Chains A and B, each alone.
Chain A
Amino acid sequence: MGRKTFVILIITAAVLSASIIFSLSSGSYSLRLDEIIRTLIGRGNPLSNTIVMQLRLPRIFIAILVGASLSTAGCILQSILGNPLAEPGIIGMNSGAALAVVLLISSSSSAYYDSIGIYTMMLLPIASIAGSFLVTALIYVLSVKKGANPARLTLTGVGISAGINAFIALYQLTMSKGDYNRALTWISGSLWGSNWLFFGIIAPAAAVSIGFAMYNSKLLDVIRLGRETAVGLGVDVDKKQKSLLGIALVLSAASTAVAGNISFLGLMGPHIANRLVGPVHIRKIPVAAGISSVLILLADTASRTMFSPLEVPVGITVSILGVPYFIYLMLKEA
């Protein structure tokens, strides 16, 4: 690891820490820095204890996990699909999760603000993970014809998710308003209602998967060079592609389970990292994870505070920030 990478990693970590403090302090009840520190070392009052330990801190930790997971998934997909604009949200991996959640919500309660029991809370992530697995498998199967051609995989994903969206519309229109809003919040991607339990569930999955991706970083480097080169260097591309796709799926499903559909995060982090430290994955993955975490943390803080007491789903904020960047990339690279 070069000196430059080291410096950039330190800077990223510093910016991330600053974002964490900023996010901890702002909200519908703002806290001063000394109050936060006192609470963190266990000497706060009950009010600040609840705000920091039960509400904001778990949300921040989950935001960081989601940012890191989606960015790593983006790195993997961009390498194996050979498409610098690939990303779990855009290629349709999450649409299955959205469908599963809408089906679940429309089949259960119809009360306006039903108290969300632990049962429903656990069921939503499970349904969303199952949904994204099924749909990604479907996309993969439909795009396999003498190996999975990357362009075909991307287009099939876009097509399938367009179809699923039409199907979701059928349910959305017949839902009661409360259910509809709940589904919309989730589909748009929101960190509302984060807690330590969710963190405990996805942290191990995300950590293992990101570790696996780092371990395979050389493989990702080689595959990025193109199929012919990779085969020429002795890589069994089809097999490796499948297992790497699986890792990307686990990462995106885990973050979708707690935060819903957040697009573009897996695109922005890797691209900015690419500019800072270059395309080598062992350096790119951690820097990208840090950058994506900062982005989602700031976007979430903005979503919470901008229209307070109303909250905009963070996925929407990220999209509004992400698309102009995406378009800029398109125009530059075309």
Chain B
Amino acid sequence: MVSATKKAILAGFILSLLAALGIIIAVAFGSKNIPLSTVIDSIFNYEDVLDMQVVRNGRIPRALAAILIGGFLGISGAMMQGVTRIPIAEPSLMGITQGATFAVALVSINPDFYAMTENTFAALAGSATSGGLVLLFSMQNPRNMSISRFVLAGTALGTFFISLASTLSILSNRTQELAFWVAGGLRSATWDSVAMLAAAGGLCSLAALFISGRINIVNLGEDMAISLGERPGVVRFMAMILIIIICSVSVSVAGNIAFIGLIVPHIVRSFVGENYKLIMPLSFLGGSVLLIWADNAARLLNRPYETPVGLFTSLIGVPIFIWMVRRNS
């Protein structure tokens, strides 16, 4: 146990360093070449000129959003794997983010709805719907829930919501805008969205850390948890609620970013073992590191154009996913 904790502290330290380095790159470089002195000035000695505006209102909120959203996706993936005991559970494979995408499409084609709710609440409503359905599945006799069945259900749900969203976009002649949503990205991050992410998502992440001990117990298995005096259904329900809120704030800002919630917790687990008190915070840090670096690649590789960030997370994610499938079965 001591060695796992030591390892975790070391890993936390390295990950924080990587995240900090990622933020520095994200703020200092971009499609517009801005001298380093101006970048520093725009933080400590702000004047109202274009370069400083780019840094202050463009790059910094985007970097912070990447850190937060990456962390949220990492921690919600870890939680989901913990309570379902399915090693490849992840919000985007389960159809939760697609539900949010549909709701956002619905809102953005209809100005009346938009005035009422805006993206965030639409995403919240959408992911609550699809998350509720996933919850229904995982409640259904968890003892004989097979992995492939679970993933197929998620795929089906995802297809369903994307189909509805496509219908809407075809009827309103806005098909390509939808593709931007489905692909996901951080280009629309503002200070407002950072504040919203930090408030709602941050709170839920803290709450998640509080129940990490109980997730540990649920992760031992249904019978074991009950004999230890824990009610697995309650923990699973609480975790799902937190996951839904965390996912929907992330999706409302960044669209659909796949695989972070899958790979990060898995890598973390192979370092520190099956202890969610360590896995969850480290997954947060790991997710932040992965997303900020992926976003840096998305912004910088093909300047001034942007590559979809999901491409980078999938490029890393798919091989690891397949490796896990091969190893697990």
Contacts and interface: CB of A to CB of B under 8 A. Distances in A.
Interface of A: 83, 85-86, 90, 142-143, 145, 149-152, 154-156, 158-160, 162-163, 166-167, 169-170, 172-173, 175, 177, 180-181, 184, 188, 263-264, 307, 310, 312-313, 315-316, 319-320, 323-324, 326-327, 330-331, 334
Specify the main secondary structure of chain B where it touches its partner. Answer: helix
B156 A326 contact: yes
Given A155-B88, A169-B311, A163 B137 contact: no
Interface stretch (B36-44, B118-126, B140-148): B140-148
A323 B157 contact: yes
Contacts of A307: 171
B329 A319 contact: no
Contact of A166 (B156, B308, B326): B308
Contact of A181 (B137, B147, B175): B175
9 A-B pairs with the lowest CB-CB distances in the bound complex, closest first: A163-B318, A323-B160, A166-B314, A319-B163, A169-B183, A159-B321, A316-B163, A334-B140, A151-B148
B152 A323 contact: no
A184 B326 contact: no
A141 to B, nearest CB: 11
A331 B136 CA distance: 9
B166 A184 contact: yes
B160 A169 contact: no
Given A166-B258, A173-B180, A158 B314 contact: no
Prevailing SS type, chain A contact patch:
helix
B172 to A, nearest CB: 10
11 contacts: A83-B149, A90-B152, A154-B151, A154-B152, A155-B147, A155-B325, A180-B179, A307-B171, A313-B166, A331-B136, A331-B140
Interface string B142-178: 0011111101110111011001101100110001100
Contact of A334 (B145, B159, B310): B145
Contacts of A160: 318, 322
Given A173-B179, A327-B156, A334-B149, A320 B163 contact: yes
Contact of A83 (B93, B148, B163, B166): B148
B153 A327 contact: yes
Classify chain B's interface size: 35 or more
Nearest to A320: B163
B149 A330 contact: yes
Q: Among the interface residues B157, B171, B180, B326, which one has the most CB atoms of the partner chain A within 10 A?
A: B326
B34 to A, nearest CB: 26
A173 B308 contact: yes
B182 interface: yes
Interface in B116-134: 133
Contacts of A313: 166, 170
B326 A152 contact: yes
B190 interface: no
B307 interface: yes
B310 A166 contact: yes
A167 B311 contact: yes
Contacts of B144: 334
A34 B182 CA distance: 48
Given A85-B149, A166-B183, 10 more contacts: A85-B152, A150-B148, A151-B329, A152-B325, A159-B321, A181-B175, A184-B166, A188-B166, A330-B137, A334-B141
